[in-house]
């Protein structure tokens, strides 16, 4: 017989002082209650209750055991309530992963606003360039960028929008080296390379007025795997590079970088929020993903509009 059930029955008999009243509480028979208590006593090799036709009384061993039972049952009830509430009320620790540049620009503000609304949730955000195994590494949600359909990983994914890259350079570099006004003219420039799992090292595919044009990159004088580091090199005036719009917008706004070939865009990527399973989804995961679905597209649209800044070359293409 299930020991936990027997403990609940024993505690109820002790509280009611009656096998009959305990049986009514559990909607069972007095005989079933008696068997549950007898099973406990057999397991413990101790008499817990003295009973006769008129009353039920705890033995000394029964009094000690009852105190422990009440503590154990209270902990179990609390654990069950917390587990049930996790499906309804966002609370506890939420572990989130995002790629570095996108995370800094878009996920951090989303987390700040989410926590303002859900103060019982503690968010642990990790930013890195690698694609995590969210089950092995213990993440609740990961935000990833991909230039193709996601493989069938068994994870649940929601598309949050799309972003692309643009060519940028510092005003000082363009004043010194001249401004390319066609894809072919890039061949005469220092082209800095960003390499990430979704960004090719050897070519730029530029989508513009003539459709898609491919520019084969020369051997690099500088390459880096973090867009923010590439932006720093570009601001220092060492060449032209392709920056994701999440990284490009701030320096374009303040004028430390200018767009090169502003009619073109590169490397369109889809943004996904991913988590392990829909079944019994924890409220903090559900509400956070819903928050990302509402906030990230708006932020992407705002930055897309901000990219419509004048480039350094006004020649017609």
Task: Supply φ then ψ for residue 165, to 5 degrees.
Answer: -110, 160
Q: What is the pTM of this model?
A: 0.67
Decide which of 39, 54, 86 is a domain's last residue. 86
Check which CATH number belongs to the domain holding 217 and give it. Answer: 3.40.190.290
Domain at 125, CATH number: 3.40.190.10
Give 193-206 as a DSSP string. EE-BTTB-SSEEEE
H/E element, 61 = helix 60-86
Contact (Cβ atoms closer than 8 angstroms) between residue 136 and residue 182: no
3-state SS assignment for residue 5: helix
Reduce the DSSP state of residue 162 to 3 states and report it: strand
Domain boundary pick from 246, 267, 288:
267
Domain that holds residue 64: 3-86
Q: What percent of the chain has pLDDT over 90?
A: 56
Give the model's pLDDT for residue 33. Answer: 92
Same domain, 261 and 291: no
Average pLDDT, the chain: 87
> Both 15 and 110 in a single domain?
no
263-313 per-position pLDDT tens digit: 999 988 899 999 987 665 788 999 999 999 999 999 999 888 888 755 445
pLDDT tens-digit readout, 193-208: 988 777 777 889 999 9
Q: At what angle do helices 30-44 and 3-16 cross, to 10 degrees?
A: 110
Q: Which of 165, 313, 168, 164 is nearest to 252 (CA)?
A: 168
253 and 282: one domain? Answer: no
Among candidate residues 26, 60, 86, the one where a domain is terminated: 86
How many CB atoms neighbour CB 241 within 10 A?
A: 27
Residue 76 pLDDT more than 80?
A: yes
309 is a domain residue: no
pLDDT digits (tens, 9 = 90+) for 166-189: 999 999 999 999 999 999 999 989
Pairing verdict, β 191-194 and 121-127:
unpaired
């Amino acid at each position: 017989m299930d020991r936990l059930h027997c403990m609940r029955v024993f505690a109820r008999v002790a509280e009611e002082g009656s096998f009959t009243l305990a049986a009514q509480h559990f909607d069972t028979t007095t005989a079933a209650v008696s068997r549950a208590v007898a099973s406990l006593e057999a397991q413990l090799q101790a008499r817990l209750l003295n009973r006769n036709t008129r009353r039920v009384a705890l033995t000394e061993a029964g009094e000690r055991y009852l105190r422990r039972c009440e503590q154990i049952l209270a902990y179990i009830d609390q654990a069950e309530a917390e587990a049930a509430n996790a499906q309804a009320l966002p609370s506890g620790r939420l572990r989130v992963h995002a790629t570095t540049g996108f995370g800094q620009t878009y996920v951090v503000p989303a987390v700040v606003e989410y926590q303002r609304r859900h103060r019982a949730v503690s968010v642990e955000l990790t930013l890195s360039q690698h694609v995590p195994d969210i089950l092995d590494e213990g993440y609740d949600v990961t935000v990833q960028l991909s230039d193709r359909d996601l493989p069938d990983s068994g994870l649940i994914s929601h598309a949050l929008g799309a972003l692309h890259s643009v060519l940028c350079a510092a005003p000082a570099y363009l004043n010194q080296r001249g401004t390319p006004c066609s894809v072919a003219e890039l061949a005469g420039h220092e082209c800095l390379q960003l390499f990430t799992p979704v960004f090719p090292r050897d070519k730029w595919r530029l989508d513009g007025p003539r459709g898609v044009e491919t520019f084969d990159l020369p051997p690099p004088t500088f390459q880096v795997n973090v867009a923010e580091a590439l932006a720093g090199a570009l601001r220092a005036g060492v060449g032209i590079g392709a920056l994701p719009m999440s990284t490009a917008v701030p320096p374009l706004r303040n004028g430390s970088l200018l767009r090169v070939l502003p009619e073109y865009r590169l490397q369109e990527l889809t943004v996904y929020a991913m988590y392990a399973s829909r079944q019994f989804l924890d409220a903090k995961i559900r509400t956070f993903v819903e928050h990302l679905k509402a906030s990230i597209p708006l932020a992407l649209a705002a930055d897309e509009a901000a990219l419509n800044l004048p480039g350094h070359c006004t020649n017609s293409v």
